[in-house]
Structures are given as structure tokens and as C-alpha cells.
A = this chain, B = another copy of it.
């Protein structure tokens, strides 16, 4: 069976091996499910008690926990990063290679070396595909779109025309990049469509999740920075700019012309209003709405906590009285002072 030795693994993830250099590992598993041919890892110290009953052939451990496991150990300052690096060794390559006979390639398209085009791919006019680009089945690439080397695009993706994607990106299925931004001018009853004349520019090492949509710009480009990670079903409006390394979890929506700084994290199902700016390192918790610019890095939230429906109903209905309640409290405070004065006077 295909395997890696512990010395192979130690070298790949930059860990120090304490144990048998030739011990064979065939897969990765969690501390609770690992068998003797698996490697496991302790990424969160609160699970350290699981080491007692762990059956893994070896475990990636921080130096401070190295003494807690009696089996083979791979000592790393960041066991979670070690696991991440190792996981890539066990990942599958795509199901296809070479250029399928059913791929439709416009004669003006330029293809680098080592390009893989699966069945049913459609490559439009003047497209450029860098070396080692892989495009999945039934994916459509519009005219004048450029894709950097080693980028991998899954099945059923749509890239419109004049989209630029960097190197080493991963685009998942049903993603749509470069559809029209939502722009209309009101003319009496009518909505007059504003043609979306810009494009989309995506940096290197970006991942775009399944079903995520990134609209093209109205006049200039929508811009996704270097190393940005987008989960599934995210909506990126026209002319949004996302700073380098910003990561956004599933189902969040970033409205048109919003600008997010670098190293931001936006949790799932958030909404960010259009035409606002967030500085670097802004972190927004799940299902929050951001309607104004944020000038200071930090953690931000909105919303109300879950409760039993019956209790929630009573509290939620009071929300509609909140301003009135606040005013009544203020009045009580004034009356209280007045009342005390009277008391003082009467004594």
C-alpha cells in the first residue's frame, strides 16, 4: 500500500521526529479515529486528554505536549499547519488529464504547456491559459479571459469575458465570475440598465467556493487581492475590493464598491453595505450587518441571541418600545432626584 515514512513526513512539514524514521503512514485521521497506520495531530490543547487512548502510529505535537504521547511523535511549533501541509500530500489530483476530445477551444485561445481540459469545457476567443492550468468538465471560459499558471478550475464553473485570474488559484463548481453588477438608473417607472463595462481581477493563491458569484465592475474592475479565501455561496458585488489574505465564510454578501482591508475575516452569512471601507484586520462575527465604514481593526458584531421562541416573542415585541423605555428610564431618574430633594426638604 502506498505510504510515507515518518522521516518523509518530518521533512515535508518541517517537524522534528521522535521515533522510528521508517514507520509507514498511509493516511491522516483525528485523535479518536486514528489507527496504527494513521498520523494524527493535536491542534487544540483542550483535546490533550485524547492522547491517552489514541491509537495513531504517530502524532504531530507542539514541543510543550511532546511528553504526553507514548508513540512516535513529530514535534512542530504549529501542529495544525503541519497537518495542513501534510493533508495536501494525500489530496487527489483531478479526475482528468490532457485535453479531452470534446473540449471546444476557440482557435485564438493561447494554451500553455501541461494544460488539462476536461470533457465539455468551452474556451472562448482570445483566452489565455497559463502552464499547468486545469479546467473541469462543462466549465465555460469567456472571451479575453486570462488564467494564471497552476490554477485549477472545477466542473460547471462560468467565467465571463475579460476576467483575470492569478496563479495557483482554486475555483469550485457553480462559481460565476464576471456576471453583470446590479446597476440600473431609474427613469420614471423604468429601470435603465447600466452596462457593466469593467472586469474582474483576482490575485494569486485565491480560492473561490462553490456557487460563489463575483460581479464584474461597472467601469473599472472588481478586485480580489492576493491570498484571499472565499467560501461557498458568497456574493461579491461590482467594484468591491478585497485586501490581501482576507477570508470570508459562506453565504456572506459584500455589496457594490465596498472596500475591505487586508487580513480581515468575515464570518458566515454577514452583510456588508456598499460604498463603505473597512480597514485591515477587521473581524466580523456571523450574521452581522455592517452598514458603516470601520476605521479601527477589531472584532465587530450585530444581532440578537437565540432564545426559546415563546420567550423571544415577548422580548422581541419589547424591541419596538426600546426608545420609549429608554425615555421612561430617563424620566424616572429625573423624578427620583426630584423625589429625593423633596425627601430632603421634608426631613
Q: Which residues does chain B contribute within 8 Å of A80, judged by CB atoms?
A: 185
Q: Which residues does chain B contribute within 8 Å of A155, judged by CB atoms?
A: 122, 140, 142, 158, 160
- Check A124 for interface membership: any CB of B closer than 8 A: yes
Are B176 and A211 interface neighbours, CB within 8 A?
yes
Kindly state the separation between the CA atoms of A172 and B235 in the bound complex, as whole angstroms.
Answer: 14
Kindly state the separation between the CA atoms of A173 and B215 in the bound complex, as whole angstroms.
Answer: 11
Q: Which among B119, B189, B255, B291 is the interface contact of A306 at CB below 8 angstroms?
A: B291
Find the residue from A30, A170, A194 having the highest chain B CB count within 10 A.
A194
- Check A321 for interface membership: any CB of B closer than 8 A: yes
Are B160 and A138 interface neighbours, CB within 8 A?
no
Q: Which residues does chain B contribute within 8 Å of A299, judged by CB atoms?
A: 308-310
How many copies the complex holds: the figure is: 3
Closest to A231 in B: B182
Q: How many residues of chain A are within 8 Å of chain B by beta carbon? A: 141
Find the residue from A155, A172, A340 having the highest chain B CB count within 10 A.
A155
User: 0/1 per residue, A82-108, Cβ < 8 Å to B?
Assistant: 011101101110011000101010000
A2 to chain B, nearest CB (A): 14
Q: Which among B92, B227, B290, B300 is the interface contact of A309 at CB below 8 angstroms?
A: B300
**Contact A156:B158 (CB < 8 A) given known A83-B185, A232-B179:** yes
Q: Which residues does chain B contribute within 8 Å of A96, judged by CB atoms?
A: 124
Q: Which among B120, B173, B209, B307 is the interface contact of A302 at CB below 8 angstroms?
A: B307
Lowest 3 CB-CB distances: which A-B pairs, in order? A91-B195, A84-B185, A158-B173
Interface set of A (CB-CB < 8 Å, partner B): 27-30, 33, 78, 80-81, 83-85, 87-88, 90-92, 95-96, 100, 102, 104, 118-120, 122, 124-125, 136-138, 140, 142-143, 154-158, 160-161, 170, 172-174, 176, 179-180, 182-187, 189-197, 207, 209-211, 213, 215, 218-220, 227, 229, 231-233, 235, 237, 244-245, 247, 249-251, 253, 255, 263, 268-269, 271, 273, 284-292, 298-323, 325-326, 328-329, 332-333, 335-336, 339-340, 342-343, 345-347
